[in-house]
Structure 1
Amino acid sequence: MPQLIFLPHAEHCPEGAVFEVESGETVLNAALAHGIDIEHACEKSCACTTCHVVIREGFNSLEPSDELEDDMLDKAWGLEPNSRLSCQAVVADQDLVVEIPKYTINQVSEGH
């Protein structure tokens, strides 16, 4: 079973986190299930960028992003070549190292 390795983030997981996840699960759902409260203002519908993450390792194991996700990512703060929306990034068979960006463009925290 692949592992998700979250790098430390002052707000969401100060110590970082490592856990196993089933292939086919989204990065966001796996994070939420393990207490990492990544914002997701659009309720996982690929309509915002609040769940933007950077995949530091394992990026090529993910299915390519589609046009809708690419259009949304263009609006994300701190966009990098290995950026993905965690609600759309589905874990395959390789470990992923995930960084949650320091900022989001969400004007109001939804309190999820």
Structure 2
Amino acid sequence: MPIIKILPHPEYCPAGTEITAPSGTSICEALLDHKINIEHACDMSCACTTCHVIVREGFNSLNDLEETEEDLLDRAWGLEPNSRLSCQAFLATKDLVIEIPRYTINHAKENH
């Protein structure tokens, strides 16, 4: 199982952590399964950007971006060339290092 190293985030993961998840799992599902409650306002349907992450290592091991995800990413706060929507980025066999941006475009957080 690949390891996902999450860099420190003041709200979701203050000290940073490492988790494992089976190949084929989305980054968002892996985070939520390990009680890292990343925003996902559209319930992982690729309709918002609240689950945006920056993949610092392992980006090329993820599945290719679909056009819908690419279009949505243009609206994400803190967009970088290695940005992905965590609900659309599926793990392969390589380990990842991700950063959860400090902000989203969401004005109010929803409890999921």
TM-score range, shorter-chain basis?
Answer: over 0.9
Which residue is 1:51 aligned to?
A: 51
TM-score normalised per structure 2: 0.98
Which residue is 1:62 aligned to?
A: 62
Can you give the 5+ residue segments of structure 1 that lack an aligned partner in the other structure?
none
TM-score normalised per structure 1: 0.98
Please tell me the residue identity of whatever aligns with 1:60. Answer: N
Can you give the 5+ residue segments of structure 2 that lack an aligned partner in the other structure?
none
> By how many angstroms is 1:108 displaced?
1.0
How many pairs does the alignment contain? 112
Q: CA RMSD in A?
A: 0.6
TM-superposition CA deviations, 1:20-74 (whole Å, max 9, x none): 1100000000000101000000000000000000000000001110000001000
| 1:26 maps to 2:30 | no
Give, in whole Å, the separation in 2 of the partners of 1:54 and 1:6. 10
Q: Secondary structure at the match of 1:71?
A: helix
> By how many angstroms is 1:87 displaced?
0.3
**Identity of matched residues, %:** 61
Q: Secondary structure at the match of 1:47?
A: coil
Which residue is 1:12 aligned to?
A: 12
